[in-house]
Amino acid sequence: MINQIIKKNIRLLSERYKHEISYFKNVIVIKNEKNFIEIFPQFNDNILFKYNFEKGIDELKIQDFEIYDLLIKIFRRGELEKVNLNPMHPLNLYDLEEEFGGLNRFEEKLISLMNLKTSYFDIGGNRVLTELYKDILILRDDIGAAKSNVINISNDRI
């Protein structure tokens, strides 16, 4: 079973990258004119993840925390190539702290952006590329070592 915060993050992430999302009893379907993705919840935070590529359908068994890395790679790919998980841990608050010279500085910047009432802002970064979209922070590793991640501001603590 995929928890509600992850489902909300998947919805917002799909919206950010202009994909439609549909929820069915045992599957989440995400698509646009190029991509077709099916997410099947399994047992103990495991997920069966299927997506299209140029030669058919690829199928992966992943942990729930790895879903953002795959989704972002599929959403951002130029061609219908296969994608792989980055090898290291998902980016987290510690990585943001290192990137922006402390969480207090980052939190100040984040609060000022949220006060602008903007739905999207590219915060940037050197290694940790950070975007704010509605209630989520989208984190991508510029060097491709750590897994991409999503932090929900309204549900997770910053």
End-to-end CA distance of the chain: 25
What pLDDT was estimated at residue 156? 56
The C-alpha atoms of residue 140 and residue 58 are separated, in whole angstroms, by: 23
Q: Is the pTM of this model over 0.85?
A: yes
pLDDT category, 158, cuts 50, 70, 90? very low
Digit-coded pLDDT (tens) for 94-146: 999 999 998 888 888 888 888 888 899 999 999 999 999 998 999 999 999 99
With 0-12 CB in 10 A as exposed, 13-18 as middle and 19+ as buried, what is 6? Answer: buried
pLDDT tops 70 at residue 157: no
Residue 63 has which token pair?
A: 């942990």
Q: Specify the amino acid at residue 4.
A: Q
